Amino acid sequence: MVEINEVYGLDYQMKSIDSRINSLIDNLGNNIANEQYRFRLHDTADLWNNGNKMSQGTVSKLINKVMSVNKRLYMCHINQNTNAINMIPVLIAGTPVEYFYIVDQDKARVYFIYITPNEVNAY
């Protein structure tokens, strides 16, 4: 029997995971850039690493995607290990979560959002 690595190459699995992550980031980024701050997610386990966090590269790709689609939005990640987390009114416990704030220059508003494996939601 033939191994999958023999047919598709040694780095097939890694390329497949990277492609999946890029697709998820495109979906998230397009929704957020079009000011959809509340929606459900499905099958996003590839975005989260073993420490139940998004990697810094994933966070950077998401921010770049949002800001490239909508130039009037400024999106910034809120690191949970700094005092900046005190800006968040309610913290989510028991699930992997990442927090962001978005400055909408058109509407002169700031939105705080969080992303979990199951949803994106705003405060």
In the block, tokens 């220059």 appear at 105
Q: Look at 21-30, 41-50, 93-102 and tell me which has the smallest mean pLDDT.
A: 41-50
Nearest to 91, CA basis, from 101, 102, 99, 83: 99
Is pTM, for the whole model, over 0.85?
A: yes
What's the whole-number mean pLDDT along residues 25-29? 96
118 and 104 Cβ atoms separated by less than 8 Å: no
Structure tokens at 119: 């949803």
Q: Note the pLDDT of residue 114.
A: 97
Radius of gyration of the chain, Cα coordinates, nearest whole angstrom: 16
C-alpha 39/C-alpha 70 separation (Å) is 18
Model pLDDT for residues 64-105, shown as the tens digit of each residue: 999 999 999 999 999 999 999 999 989 999 899 999 999 999
Structure tokens at 120: 């994106």
Q: Is the pLDDT of residue 25 over 90?
A: yes
Distances (CA, A) of 120 to 29, 56, 74, 83: 11, 18, 17, 23
